[in-house]
Amino acid sequence: MSPLESAVLGLYFFILVILAIFGLHRYIMVYLYFRHKDRRAQPRPLPATLPRVTVQLPLYNEMYVTERLLDSVCAIRYPRELLQIQVLDDSTDETTAIASAAVERRRQEGFDVEYVHRTDRTGYKAGALEHGLATATGEFVLIFDADFIAPADILEKTIGHFDDPKVGMIQVRWDHINRDYSLLTQVQSILLDGHFILEHGGRNRGGRFFNFNGTAGIWRRTAIEDAGGWQHDTLTEDLDLSYRAQLKGWRFVFVQDVVSPAEIPVEMNAFKSQQHRWAKGSIQTCKKLLPKILASDQPLPIKIEAAFHLTANFAYPLMVMLTLLMFPAMVIRYNMGWYEMMMIDVPLFMGATLSVCSFYLVSQREIFGTSWKSRLRYLPAVLSTGIGLSVNNAKAVLEALIGQDSPFTRTPKYRVEAAGDDWKQRRYRGTLTLAPYIELALALYCTVMAVYAVDNAIFGTLPFILLFQFGFFYAAGLSLVQNMDRPSLVGEQEVLAEE
């Protein structure tokens, strides 16, 4: 082999091994989940003396879902005299009128509801939460994003965990109102199910750190303050505060059996925008806190798990590099002998793929019980969508590494709950970026690679090539088609520009 060929193969296998290690980590999550099943946090009854609770509802241009959110919060079973509700509205559109009118109606019904409108969005969501704490009267703070529906029993089943004075935060599990709306919402639901059931469940049961997800969670106010409060130097203020609080010694609890339904994005560009924010914010948090975590006196298993958690999104730029290297590596290896690909490439690909499949299948079994097998048909789409997101999320990772600032772009919500609900005529939409065109180019590149594999009877790697091909075609095609399929709405670009 020439030096260039050696370099290509060396980098190719290095990336494959790193991705396989990230895949192995998923097995560790499953192991921790079942190994410590006796530590599953159960719902607890209300304490004898009920504390005062503040519910914070951060909003930004949420005209379609604001009333639904407030209605559900007002239905929480808890004494009204002990429940303060803060509508923290940074909106620049009709949401302000909708929210203020809804607050006034509820105030007349006897609810302690405060409407707070900021014209300066300093700190975005973190800034709004921080601003709200100045007038919050609760010992505990329950937070819901606009796309959620508060379960009526959330305080009845969780507040009792705070009898332990070291418990700083309780996170409940998300469910998905519009899970069955489309293939995209099915895929997102499975991805989130795996995160909550196995990542949160495994980490919490195994005594590792896990994070508040920004919504559907309850904080002890003193834990927020002790950890340094809400900070807005990352796009994931929830992840940042979570690690700072746990480093301070606060314990978190994940209550899997209390479920808060939420609307997930029905539009690919909105989904990508959300994923970009989460990926970039996690790497920003990694840069900010991982050195402190590794230098702390925390046990080694906690440090190792934190490192895996905070570096997980590095897999996306590696995935893009792997895609580009697959074809030259295939040609080089084929000229050396096809059997070597079968001995090395295929096992590594299988290891990474099977880890993802088993991870998400276990989460579906835990949620759906005996009907989990009906979820099998979505696994290829789950795998492909994860691959298709790699361009979008790799961009986010690189931006975080070089310190490029970007605003907190909220995810558009349309109040889509059932199959017949239309969203295409509604005002908000995700922003089309350059990513779909790069994804389309990679899809075509994978098509050429697939043709080469068929022509040369390299069938062992063909299924993996087709997964990559479909993933990039799906991510690019849906982004472009949905963008073209939407009418240009008056005032829309003005709203998006502020995001």
Q: Which residue has the tokens 């570096």?
A: 311
Please provide residue 88's backbone torsions phi and psi, each rounded to the nearest 5 degrees.
-100, 95
pLDDT digits (tens, 9 = 90+) for 27-79: 999 999 999 999 999 999 899 999 999 999 999 999 999 999 999 999 999 99
Which candidate, 139, 123, 140, 141, places its Cα nearest to that of 60?
A: 123
**How many other C-beta atoms lie within 10 A of the C-beta of residue 134?**
7
Active site residue 38: no
Residue 185 tokens read as 């919402």
What's the rounded Cα separation, in Å, for the pair 334 and 326? Answer: 12
Burial environment of residue 492 by CB neighbours within 10 A (0 to 12, 13 to 18, 19 or more): middle
What's this model's pTM, rounded to 2 decimal places? 0.93
422 and 320 in one domain?
yes
Question: Can you say whether residue 140 is alpha, beta or left, with left for phi > 0 and alpha for psi between -120 and 50 degrees?
Answer: beta
Tell me the angle at which helices 435-455 and 390-402 cross, rounded to the nearest 10 degrees.
130
Rounded to an integer, what is the distance from CA 26 to the centroid of its chain? 16
Is 328 found in the same domain as 292?
Answer: no
Q: Of these residues, 145, 193, 238, 240, which one is catalytic?
A: 238
- State yes or no: pLDDT of 152 exceeds 90: yes
pLDDT digits (tens, 9 = 90+) for 309-321: 999 999 999 999 9
Structure tokens at 249: 């010694």
For tokens 């003396």, name the residue.
49
Boundary of a domain, candidates 312, 339, 356: 312
Domain identity same for 249 and 130: yes
Is the confidence at residue 336, as pLDDT, over 70?
no
pLDDT tens column, 431-470: 778 999 999 999 999 999 999 999 988 887 888 899 999 9
pLDDT for res 1: 74
**Is the same domain home to 140 and 163?**
yes
- The mean pLDDT value of the chain amounts to 92
Of the candidates 412, 360, 394, the one whose C-alpha atom is nearest the C-alpha of residue 146 is 412
The single residue listed with the structure tokens 């490029």 is 404
Is residue 399 domain-shared with residue 265, that is, in the same domain? no
Same domain, 240 and 374: no
| Same-domain check for residues 375 and 334 | yes
* Cα–Cα dist 80/390, whole Å: 47
Per-range mean pLDDT, top range of 269-273, 350-354, 459-463: 269-273
**What CA–CA distance (Å, rounded) separates 33 from 289?**
25
Residue 332: per-residue pLDDT: 87
DSSP helix/strand/coil, 489: coil
Q: Which of 90, 145, 175, 345 is catalytic?
A: 90
Which residue, 259, 278, 312, sits at the end of a domain?
312
> Which domain-ending residue is among 268, 284, 312?
312
Using alpha carbons, list the distances in angstroms from residue 63 to 185, 234, 414.
21, 26, 8
**496, two tokens:** 């998006």
From start to end of 298-364, where are the E strands?
Answer: none
CB 218 within 8 A of CB 314: no
Q: Whole-angstrom Cα distance, residue 147 to residue 73?
A: 12
What is the total count of domains within the chain? 2
Confidence at residue 418, expressed as pLDDT on a 0 to 100 scale: 80
Segments forming the whole domain that contains residue 67: 41-312
Confidence of residue 398 (pLDDT cuts 50, 70, 90): very high
My answer on whether 73 and 113 are in the same domain is: yes
Is 297 known to be catalytic?
no
Whether residue 304 is found in the same domain as residue 341: no
> Are residues 243 and 379 both part of a single domain?
no
Contact (CB, 8 A) for 267 and 393: no
The percent of residues in the chain predicted with pLDDT above 90, rounded, is 78
How many Å is the Cα radius of gyration of the chain? 23
Over the stretch 102-115, which tens digit does the pLDDT of each residue have? 999 999 999 999 99
Q: 153 near 255, Cβ under 8 Å? A: no
Question: Strand, helix or coil at 454?
Answer: helix
Asked whether residue 299 falls in the same domain as residue 352, the answer is no
Residue 86 has pLDDT above 80, yes or no: yes
Same domain membership, residue 422 and residue 366: yes
The domain that contains 230 carries what CATH number? 3.90.550.10
Beta bridge pairs of residue 58: 88
* Model pLDDT for residues 381-394, shown as the tens digit of each residue: 999 999 999 999 99
pLDDT at 195: 97
Quote the tokens at residue 428. Answer: 């908000």
